[in-house]
Structure 1
Amino acid sequence: MVNDVQGDKIDLLAMSKEEPVLLYFWATWCSVCSTVSPSVDFMSAHYPVLSIAISSGNESRIKHYIESKGYDFKVINDQQGVISKAWGVSQTPTIFIIDKGEIKSITTGFTSPIGMWLRLLMA
Structure 2
Amino acid sequence: MSSVTVISDKEFETEVLQADQPVLVYFWASWCGPCRLMSPTIDWAATTYADRLKVVKMEVDPNPETVKQYQVEGVPALRLIQNQQVLEATEGVIPKQKLIEILDTHFH
Query: Could you state the TM-score of these two structures normalised by the residue count of structure 1?
Result: 0.65
Structure 1's consecutive aligned runs of 4 or more residues displaced over 3 angstroms after TM superposition are: none
Distance, in Å, in 2 between the alignment partners of 1:121 and 1:93 is 20
Partner of 1:49: 55
Whether the aligned pair in 1 keeps the contact of 2:79 and 2:88 (CA below 8 Å) is yes
Please report how far the alpha carbon of residue 94 of structure 1 lies from its aligned counterpart in structure 2 after TM superposition. Answer: 0.8
Within the alignment, does 1:122 sit opposite 2:92 as a pair?
A: no
Query: Taking structure 2 as the reference length, what is the TM-score of the superposition?
Result: 0.73
Structure 1, gaps ≥5 residues long: 56-78
**Hey, what does 1:102 align to over in structure 2?**
85
Which amino acid counterpart does residue 29 of structure 2 have in structure 1? A
Q: Which has the larger radius of gyration?
A: 1
| Cα RMSD for the two superposed structures | 2.3
Residues 94, 4 of structure 1: alpha-carbon distance in 2 compared, 3 angstrom cutoff: closer
Structure-2 change in CA distance of 1:4 and 1:108 (3 Å) = closer
1:36 aligns with 2:42: no
Query: What amino acid maps onto 1:48 in structure 2?
Result: K
Check conservation: 1:26, 1:93, Cα contact below 8 A: yes
Cα drift, residue 4 of structure 1 = 3.2
Separation in 2, partners of 1:93, 1:115: 14
Structure 2: which 5+ runs fail to align? 1-5
Aligned residues: 94
